[in-house]
Amino acid sequence: MERLSLHSDRLHAVIAPQGGSVTRLDLESGDAVHPILHPSDLAMHPLIPFANRVPGNIIDLVEPPLRLPPNVPGEACALHGIGWQRVWHVTEANEERCTLELVVKPDDWVFGFRAVQEFNVLGGEFRATLEIENTNDQSIPAGLGFHPYFFRAPGMQIQFNAERFWPEGPGHLPTDAISLPPELDFAAPVPLPDSWRNNCYSGWDGRATIHDPVRGLEVTIRASGPLRDLMLYTPPGAEFFCLEPQSHTTGAVTRARGQPPATPLHILAAGERLAVDMTIAARVPAL
């Protein structure tokens, strides 16, 4: 499988055109190599043209409503769009940057679109951008996001500010939002949960920090304006956890589920584009 290797003086990233995915991101400090993402074929993958699950596999924000095929064995709902399951074309690559393109034809899925990703490393920062363009004659619903699997180390703490918490209901779909009780609030550094968490936080301010005292690291996530919902996924016993910035609330892909305080999918007119970006900054605070 083709791989692209990106290097700065502190970071090493590996990109796979298959899935348009990052397969590893490491911080190099002296002779030590610290994984920031949990190495795998999908250490971080794009969420396009929607994030998480589509209830009933129907998007009725446009007419006629769109019926999506399930795309993951054992999953009843279409999951995480299709960008992570397609091969992207490399349009530019050098030591510090690469650009990938994906063109989906209308007869190949429920609607066509063009997508572009760019990855680059500079010092201790890894930046990913993702853009979708509506190539159809009619409007399409679109959502974007990133799905990083962060390396999990003992003693880790996470910190981020949000306004609402969406409890998980049947089928891993959210129920109604609630205000944040103290036990679900990460405004101050809090140990990474050991229990199952698979929840959307909305009203997120676009910033999150991972404190890693055992390895002596700090990892900061910064996301652009459209990415104001954050998924927290902590499967018990796993060597990873996920903080997934996305442009719409999980499940908010229908008129019924897309009402406030949920953020629905964007509706893009013919030729219209939506773009987002995220930066992962890793550092050893003592340096």
**Could you tell me the residue ranges of all domains in the chain?**
4-283
Q: What is the mean pLDDT of residues 189-194?
A: 96
User: Is residue 1's pLDDT more than 90?
Assistant: no
pLDDT in tens, 52-72: 999 999 999 999 999 999 999
User: Is residue 34's pLDDT more than 90?
Assistant: yes
pLDDT in tens, 134-176: 999 999 999 999 999 999 999 999 999 999 999 999 999 999 9
What 188-195 contacts at long range (C-beta under 8 Å, 24+ apart), as own/partner pairs, is: 188/159, 189/157, 189/158, 189/159, 190/157, 190/158, 190/159, 191/155, 191/156, 191/157, 192/152, 192/156, 192/157, 192/158, 192/234, 192/241, 193/234, 194/234, 194/236, 195/234, 195/236
Give the mean pLDDT of the chain: 96
For 228, left (φ over 0), alpha (ψ -120 to 50), or beta?
A: alpha
Bridge partners (DSSP) of residue 112 are none
pLDDT, residue 287, reads: 47
User: Is residue 38's pLDDT more than 90?
Assistant: yes
pLDDT in tens, 251-270: 999 999 999 999 999 999 99
Task: Please name the fold of domain 4-283.
Answer: Beta-galactosidase; Chain A, domain 5 (2.70.98)
Please state, in angstroms and rounded to a whole number, the distance separating the CA atoms of residues 248 and 253: 8
